[in-house]
């Protein structure tokens, strides 16, 4: 499997969104590169859960920015997020239930390859253009801090946030 990276065709031009996409790709690459043998299964499940938690937090931050700016494409954008949230939930559930690394890795790979790349290239770039137009005086539109988003209850129930909370020191 190839490495996922934020190539020029995926740059949105909004620093915070691009930074979160870089982290998301990095977390996915970490999971995809884990060896099939010799790694503690709990560590693998933790990495998958952490990746999924970050995806969910990222979507919540984008949705908060859409709500704050009354983005007209928010409904469609959120529907795509909802579909990816369901995929993340299925991947996490499978990794916990079956522990199957190959299935989990392939699921993450194809989710990124099929959905997330399209999502970034099309819908996130449209959102980024809108955010830049809404803040002509600001050089960089701000996305809400992930902790603020979580505290506002915008993270869907059913996701294990403990891995992400531990990583950010909450």
| Predicted confidence (pLDDT) per residue in 106-140, tens digit | 889 988 888 778 889 999 999 999 988 886 544 34
Listed by start position, the domains of the chain span 14-167
Lowest mean pLDDT among 5-19, 27-41, 49-63: 27-41
Q: Enter the pTM of the model.
A: 0.78
> Residue 95: its pLDDT value, please?
85
- The phi and psi torsions of 83 (rounded to 5 degrees) equal -65, -45
- Dihedral-angle region of residue 86 (phi above 0 means left; psi in -120 to 50 means alpha; beta otherwise): alpha
> Residue 8: its pLDDT value, please?
93
CB under 8 Å to 22, separation ≥6 — which residues?
6
Tell me which of 11 and 46 has the higher pLDDT: 11
CATH architecture of the domain with residue range 14-167: Up-down Bundle (1.20)
Residues 55-114: pLDDT tens digits? 988 898 888 888 888 899 999 999 999 999 999 998 898 888 766 678 888 889 988 888
**Confidence class for position 12, pLDDT limits 50, 70, 90:** very high
> Residue 114: its pLDDT value, please?
81
Q: How far is CA 63 from CA 67, 103, 114, 131, 143, in A?
A: 6, 30, 21, 12, 9
């Amino acid at each position: 499997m190839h490495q996922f990276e934020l190539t020029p065709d995926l740059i949105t031009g909004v620093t915070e969104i691009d930074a979160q996409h870089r982290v998301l790709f990095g977390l996915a690459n970490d999971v995809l590169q884990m060896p099939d043998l010799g790694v503690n299964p709990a560590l693998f499940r933790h990495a998958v859960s952490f990746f999924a938690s970050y995806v969910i937090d990222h979507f919540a931050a984008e949705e908060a920015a859409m709500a704050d700016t009354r983005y007209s494409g928010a409904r469609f954008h959120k529907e795509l997020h909802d579909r990816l949230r369901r995929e993340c939930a299925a991947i996490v559930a499978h990794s916990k239930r079956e522990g199957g690394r190959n299935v989990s890795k392939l699921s993450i790979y194809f989710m990124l390859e099929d959905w997330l790349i399209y999502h970034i290239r099309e819908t996130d770039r449209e959102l980024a253009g809108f955010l830049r137009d809404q803040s002509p005086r600001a050089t960089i539109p701000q996305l809400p801090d992930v902790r603020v988003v979580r505290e506002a209850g915008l993270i869907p129930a059913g996701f294990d946030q403990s891995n992400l909370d531990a990583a950010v020191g909450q």
